[in-house]
Amino acid sequence: MSNVVIVGTQWGDEGKGKVVDRLAARADLIVRFQGGNNAGHTLVVNGEQTICHLIPSGILHKGKKCLIGNGVVVDPEVLLEEIENLTDKGVTIAPANLSLSEKAHIIMPYHKAMDHAREKAKGKEKIGTTGRGIGPCYEDKAGRVGIRAVDLFDPDLLKEKIEGNLKEKNFYLTQFFNAKALDANQIFDRYCEMAKILRPFIRNTSLMVDLAAKEGKKILFEGAQGTHLDIDHGTYPFVTSSNPVAGSACAGVGVGPDKLHHVVGIVKAYTTRVGSGPFATELLDDTGDYIQEKGSEFGATTGRRRRCGWLDLVMIRDSVRLNGLTSLSITKLDVLTGLDTLKICVAYELEGKRIEATPASLKELAQCRPVFEELPGWKDEIASAKTLNQLPAETTNYLNVIEEKTGVPISILSVGPMRDQTIEIKDPFSRS
């Protein structure tokens, strides 16, 4: 049996939650390895929508162990609220089925205050962050002044770190951003309260994953955001603050690359983006509005309207290379139903030259013009299809072009939002 990594191949919002939910049914451990509550994985089970921001999507399956790895930055208030909301829905959450890495960094109120103050100061030049303190928390992690989950066990150290960090943060907030200062004692008292509740959940998750691997258990590694939001490989600076690529699963969980066997790249059947930044295939017309409305393209975390465009295979080929993709999972294929003609971007044209990869320069990327292949659309609804043979010929043709141009086979198709509206061509957990 294989261990499986799930990654997004675009700018996030590809529908990873549904794929993780499906594969979690046959996994033993589901491990989140990066990002924070700036991610939102939307699941629809028995007609009810559930959005997970920090807790791995597999929590909806009984008997599964869900872990939040050290690569995730965690807002304890959000985590506790998510636990409460899921519990209210009848989902059992306890240390027996949920663990948080003792090495995970903790988002503090000053991280969120800095995030909001910076975006406000930038005005029209803002990055478009979610304002949840993700970036500033990763900054403190890299600056070696971060607070980790294990620090919540040591009140003296926790207070010392909060007071030390606030000297700098309050200076910036009041003197540079003209914002309010934060009170160290209030923060300390609140985090001590939350620490008491979270303490049973905090474990050495690296050891837990290693033991599971030695016992031959199936492990599902769940990423957030998408490859082109990667801090190193994305459309910088319009990116997230972590590495959503598959290799990050090793660092973000604490395992070696020998534990990663099958990497599934989630590809939305078209392209969407939230926030600022170049978007070569963006549709600013009725077709874009049609896709946006039919696909209900609003951010699961922010509620912001997503920008929509045609499928960009230049991006996907970059993701194939950066992640070492084994297979693709195509999501929201049903949204394209009803369009007379479909377009797929197969290359860019820059200054009269055809290029096959995304330029690092945002100035050059903004000048790129998509080279499209046009394909006939389909009118018949596909949401009830259970096999490839039940799909219209035009749909199959669309999928064949994706496989041909990326060189990667498709393992899973999503033809609707419900769990059972899925066609599985190959089980990613199988090595055959």
List the catalytic residues.
13, 41
d(Cα 348, Cα 325) in Å, to the nearest integer?
A: 22
Find all residues with CB under 8 Å of 7, minimum gap 6, and list them.
16, 223, 226, 227, 244, 245, 246, 263, 264, 265, 266, 319, 323, 325
310 phi and psi angles, rounded to 5 deg: -70, 160
φ/ψ of 198, rounded to 5, equals -80, -20
| Cβ atoms 376, 394 nearer than 8 A | yes
Q: Is 142 helix (H, G, I), strand (E, B) or coil?
A: helix
- The secondary element (H helix, E strand) that includes residue 240 is none
Q: What is the DSSP string of 281-295?
A: TB--SHHHHHHHHHT
What CA dihedral angle connects 131, 135, 139 and 141, to 10 degrees?
100
Length of the chain: 432
Q: Which residues have CB under 8 Å from 352's CB, separation 6+? A: none
Report residue 175 as tokens.
Answer: 């003197």
> Any bridge partners for residue 202, and if so which?
100
C-alpha distances (whole Å) from 340 to each of 115, 337, 397 are 44, 9, 14
Hey, what are 168's tokens? 């700098």
Structure tokens, 157 = 């150290």
Per-position DSSP letters for 34-72, written without gaps between them: SB-TT--EEEEETTEEEEESSS-GGGGSTT-EEEE-TTB
Q: Residue 383 and residue 399: Cα distance in Å, rounded?
A: 16
Angle of helix 184-198 relative to helix 155-171, nearest 10 degrees, comes to 140
Planar angle of CA 383, 386, 392, nearest 5 degrees:
65
95 upstream amide cis, omega within 30 of 0: no
- Phi/psi of residue 153, each to 5°? -80, -15
